[in-house]
């Protein structure tokens, strides 16, 4: 039991607009990379832009990539999602690989704020056969039965009692050896 | 295209989620920020909320790139002119013309608005939705089909869909924040633009993937309730030549209490059709008749799951065929007539 989830909102897994049911629409609308052209903290971002950015943009044609050089400011990325949410991440002193990994993380998000999932499945149709109620599987005979009833008043899964079992055993032994029957 | 006039409005909150990190700040930073926030809250309360700006007023905005991303996001190919026309509203054109004539320039704007496209798109969307509903709900009367169609084409549903595919930032319109009608119009125009660019088949799949999937999670029986279910059930059975429905009490509990429950079963010629439960005998009887109708129309709670996406590949031709062929109306419904159309 950790306390890292105390203030994290919790919920059931969900997706905006039944995404994936019809077609999958990548939810990342646009990503803005802000960096400094000279400061050392932006080196990873600059390296990423020079090497991996074009490939990223080609594999995600549904996401607009904006580059915003800002002097004397530490680098950051702001992701905007189709449901209107924004995610801000500071990329100060990130390496090129870290930038790439966080960027791919942003691609997989849907914009729904981070929350603890109570369950990893969700359905809008929780029951198909119908929820149990006390009348399910009841014999229709109870409607016109007069109680106490010799069959329905008893529990329906009751087996023979110990006394009855002993009597049965005794009767069996009686029948097996008729010579041992006590003379009348 | 950039909205030249400063377009902002007031809204309740503007949220930015921060992926937080551990950091070390001087002792005076937190109290300073707290004071800033306090003053900002007072100021915003006085003026009715924080300012929000249209995305196009930002420095990082490229309309051409946004349009390119829009079509790729959906996996569709649009003709550039059709798409831009679909996103341009009459109000925007009028505003631009007025602005240019105010300055004194000749307004020879070659913009095309989306009125015609929106009209055409609305009709196409209705047609595609009806085709799907009739192909999937084969046993259902036409009244329920129209109820489901009206739900899917309602302004609220279409506005949600339009917002979630990113139309909010792309539309050229004079109102900000954009009204529901603007979203709906743009969305319908997009459908028509898609049909023009990639063909009606692609537009049909687009509507099935985006609009019809909003039916998932909805209980179709909440959208339409037949009037006088008892009478209509009797009429249907009579038309089919079966014995008239007989209602019998099959379960009851707590008759003299608030939590009374009665189960009434419907029988036709001593064959069980359905049962319904209710707090009183009349309610239970009506529920039983409703359940019987649900059973006939195959819309019970245990009905088959609706097909979406790839599962529609085999029935696309059937959907196309049924676009112009309405189902039987409720007053003429007979199971023999609908048995021939098997899903």
Per-residue pLDDT at A181: 57
Same domain for B276 and B163 = no
Q: Tell me the CATH number at B245.
A: 3.30.160.20
Same domain for B238 and B280 = yes
Rounded Cα distance, B281 and B286, in Å: 9
Our CA-based measurement puts residue A157 at a distance from the nearest CA of chain B, in whole angstroms, of 23
Same domain for B115 and B194 = yes
- Spell out the residues 6+ positions from residue B316 whose beta carbon is closer than 8 angstroms to its own: B201, B204
CB B167 within 8 A of CB B87: yes
Q: Beta strands A28-35 and A64-69: pairing type?
A: parallel
Last residue of a domain, one of B176, B199, B219: B219
Q: Is B54 among the domain residues?
A: no
Number of domains in chain B: 2
Q: Is B51 among the domain residues?
A: no
Q: Is B37 among the domain residues?
A: no
Same domain for B152 and B171 = yes
Same domain for B278 and B206 = no
| Residue ranges making up the domain that contains B259 | 225-300
B81-120: pLDDT as tens digits: 999 999 999 999 999 998 888 888 877 777 899 999 999 9
Which of B17, B62, B263 has the most A C-beta neighbours within 10 Å, making it the best mutation to test the interface with A? B17
Q: From A111, which residue of chain B is nearest by alpha-carbon distance?
A: B17
Which of A8, A15, A62 has the most B C-beta neighbours within 10 Å, making it the best mutation to test the interface with B? A62
Q: Is B317 among the domain residues?
A: no
A7-59: pLDDT as tens digits: 888 999 999 999 999 999 999 999 999 999 999 999 999 999 999 999 999 99
Q: Tell me the CATH number at B177.
A: 1.10.1520.10
Q: Is B293 among the domain residues?
A: yes
Same domain for B239 and B201 = no
Q: Between A4 and B133, name the one with better pLDDT.
A: B133
Per-residue pLDDT at A85: 94
Same domain for B195 and B244 = no
Please report the domains of chain A, with CATH numbers, ordered by start residue. 10-119 (3.40.30.10), 147-176 (no CATH)
Q: Is B23 among the domain residues?
A: no
Two tokens, residue B306: 């609706």
B65 neighbourhood in chain A, CB within 8 Å: 64
Same domain for B207 and B90 = yes
A126-168: pLDDT as tens digits: 888 889 999 998 888 888 889 888 888 888 787 889 999 999 9
Same domain for B248 and B213 = no
Residue B13 has pLDDT above 90, yes or no: no
- Is cis: bond before B177, omega within 30 of 0? yes
Same domain for B239 and B180 = no
A62 neighbourhood in chain B, CB within 8 Å: 69-70, 72-74
Residue B152 has pLDDT above 80, yes or no: yes
Mean pLDDT of the residues in chain B: 91
ipTM (interface pTM): 0.87
Residue showing tokens 């112009």: B324
Q: Which of A22, A83, A135 sits opposite B309 (nearest CB)?
A: A22
A129 neighbourhood in chain B, CB within 8 Å: 302
Residue contacts between A and B (CB atoms, under 8 Å): 107
User: Quick one: pLDDT band at residue B1, thresholds 50, 70, 90?
Assistant: very low
Q: Is B41 among the domain residues?
A: no
Same domain for B272 and B145 = no
Same domain for B89 and B179 = yes
């Amino acid at each position: 039991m950790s306390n890292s989830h105390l203030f994290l909102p919790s919920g059931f897994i969900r997706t905006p607009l039944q995404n994936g049911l019809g077609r999958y629409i990548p939810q990342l609308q646009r990503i803005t990379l802000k960096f400094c052209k000279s400061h050392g903290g932006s080196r990873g971002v600059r390296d990423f832009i020079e090497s991996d950015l074009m490939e990223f943009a080609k594999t995600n044609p549904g996401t607009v990539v904006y580059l915003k050089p800002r002097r004397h400011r530490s680098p950051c990325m702001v992701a905007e999602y189709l449901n209107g949410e924004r995610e801000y991440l500071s990329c100060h002193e990130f390496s090129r690989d870290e930038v790439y990994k966080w960027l791919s993380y942003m691609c997989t998000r849907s914009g729904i704020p981070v929350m603890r999932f109570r369950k990893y499945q969700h359905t809008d149709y929780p029951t198909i056969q119908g929820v149990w109620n006390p009348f399910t599987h009841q014999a229709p005979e109870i409607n016109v039965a007069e109680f106490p009833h010799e069959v329905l008043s008893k529990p329906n899964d009751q087996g023979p009692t110990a006394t009855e079992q002993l009597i049965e055993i005794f009767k069996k032994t009686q029948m097996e050896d008729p010579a041992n029957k006590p003379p009348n | 295209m950039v909205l030249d006039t400063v377009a902002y409005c007031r809204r309740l909150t503007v949220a930015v989620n921060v992926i937080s990190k551990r950091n070390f700040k001087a002792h005076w930073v937190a109290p300073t920020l707290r004071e800033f926030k306090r003053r900002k809250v007072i100021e915003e309360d006085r003026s009715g909320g924080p300012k929000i700006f249209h995305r196009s007023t930002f420095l990082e905005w490229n309309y051409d790139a946004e349009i390119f991303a829009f079509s790729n996001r959906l996996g569709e190919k649009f003709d550039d002119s059709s798409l831009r026309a679909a996103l341009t509203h009459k109000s925007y054109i009028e505003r631009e013309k007025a602005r240019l004539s105010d300055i004194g320039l000749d307004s020879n704007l070659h913009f095309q608005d989306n009125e015609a496209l929106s009209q055409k798109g609305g009709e196409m969307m209705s047609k595609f939705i009806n085709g799907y509903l009739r192909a999937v709900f084969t046993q259902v009367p036409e009244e329920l089909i129209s109820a489901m169609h009206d739900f899917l084409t309602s302004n609220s549903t279409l506005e949600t869909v339009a917002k979630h595919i990113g139309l909010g930032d792309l539309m050229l319109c004079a109102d900000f924040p954009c009204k529901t009608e603007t979203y709906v119009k743009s969305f319908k125009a997009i459908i028509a633009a898609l049909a023009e660019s990639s063909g009606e088949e692609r537009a049909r799949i687009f509507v099935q993937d985006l609009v019809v999937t909003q039916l998932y999670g909805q209980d179709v029986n909440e959208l339409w309730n037949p009037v006088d279910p008892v009478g209509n059930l009797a009429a249907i059975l009579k038309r089919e030549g079966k014995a008239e429905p007989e209602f019998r009490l099959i379960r009851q509990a707590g008759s003299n209490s608030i939590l009374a429950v009665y189960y009434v079963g419907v029988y036709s010629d001593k064959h069980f059709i359905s049962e319904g439960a209710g707090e009183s005998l009349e309610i239970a009887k009506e529920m039983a008749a409703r359940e019987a109708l649900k059973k006939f129309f195959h819309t019970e709670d245990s009905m088959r799951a609706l097909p979406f996406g790839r599962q529609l590949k085999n029935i696309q031709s059937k959907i196309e065929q049924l676009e112009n062929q309405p189902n039987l109306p409720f007053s003429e419904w007979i199971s023999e007539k609908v048995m021939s159309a098997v899903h």
